[in-house]
A = this chain, B = another copy of it.
């Protein structure tokens, strides 16, 4: 790669000190005199010295790389999370290495296996839907590579995790529908295995209960996170003998899919049937009527997840923290007050 970059050897030669002194000075250890440190720093700057992380990686095992594993990149939530991670990592001199699993547990575990070869100082992960992943991540952690989970967290791994407030988000969304007069509220949910699905479901139920609203198993349908999934789910819902008058969707893409299904049937959105999403994808404002949705703090999630990871990297025994970040309900036209709602 390099032809000849300055190394600590060069600095040592110029200053007529040993490389170990230079190494220590650069890392600002306490057993080097201020005078030497300053001299070293000055020469380093003059020579435009940059440490070779591959060498430190070999000698000490610190690569200055952190890995991030996630199911997809091409959606608003994930790309925003990464932007947050990237900013934080870069500010601390860490690079981020990107791994995409396509939501496949096999790819996921393959990625983790290969991680051993290049080496990362730590790992940020959002697991695949059907990932039985605790075990391979556990192995990584046992070897001393810290892992921080975000969004889709694996049960059973004791480590830091950061996520949006799924329960509260779902609760507030459904509460909003209830307050606006909707009585028969359905939920098109994510994959049943995911913890976030369970938490959103719990929030949904809690709100139903609080507002004394009916709950029917056939009003809850699980599937993936795509727009197509949402469209299919909504069609399912419309077949129910007792038709829901509102839909709370696990994310915006599903909500939009549902809106498409409703439009195809000529059902007025935000009047006959209210719709609320989750995320606040920019699409929510583009779609018509504009989609009411619970905004997730995606960038902040990325930022905090990265901060936690850096702490784990720096302090071997940093105690795991769980951070749950609140979002905010963005009220728009898809959930307008409904006056003609009738109870079941």
User: Which A residues are within 8 Å of any B CB, using their own CB?
Assistant: 1-3, 5, 50-55, 57-58, 61, 63-65, 72-76, 78-80, 82-83, 86-87, 90, 93, 95-100, 111, 114, 116-121, 143-145, 227, 256, 282-283, 286-288
Contact = CB atoms under 8 A, between A and B. Distances in A.
B61 A119 contact: no
A95 B68 CA distance: 11
Top 8 A-B pairs, shortest CB-CB distance: A54-B57, A50-B117, A74-B79, A1-B61, A53-B118, A73-B79, A288-B288, A79-B79
Contact of A97 (B96, B119, B288): B96
Contacts of A116: 1-2, 5, 50
A86 B100 CA distance: 7
Contacts of A55: 58
A95 B123 CA distance: 14
20 contacts: A1-B63, A1-B116, A2-B116, A2-B119, A51-B117, A52-B58, A54-B58, A54-B118, A54-B119, A72-B83, A74-B83, A78-B79, A79-B79, A82-B98, A83-B100, A97-B97, A97-B98, A283-B283, A286-B286, A287-B287
A144 B288 contact: no
A48 to B, nearest CB: 9
A153 to B, nearest CB: 23
A54 B50 contact: no
A37 to B, nearest CB: 20
A276 B227 CA distance: 24
B73 A76 contact: no
A210 B98 CA distance: 46
Nearest to A86: B100
Q: Is the interface of A mostly helix, strand, loop or mixed?
A: mixed
Contacts of A95: 97-99, 118
Contacts of A79: 73-75, 78-79
A312 to B, nearest CB: 13
Nearest to A53: B118
Contact of A143 (B3, B97, B114): B3
A65 B283 CA distance: 34
A53 B144 contact: no
Contacts of A143: 1-3
A78 B82 CA distance: 13
A282 B72 CA distance: 15
Contacts of A63: 1, 54, 118
Given A54-B58, A54-B119, A57-B57, 18 more contacts: A1-B61, A5-B116, A50-B114, A50-B117, A51-B117, A52-B58, A52-B117, A53-B118, A54-B57, A64-B118, A65-B97, A74-B76, A87-B100, A90-B111, A95-B97, A96-B98, A286-B287, A287-B287
B82 A73 contact: yes
Contacts of A100: 83, 86-87
A306 to B, nearest CB: 13
B256 A119 contact: no
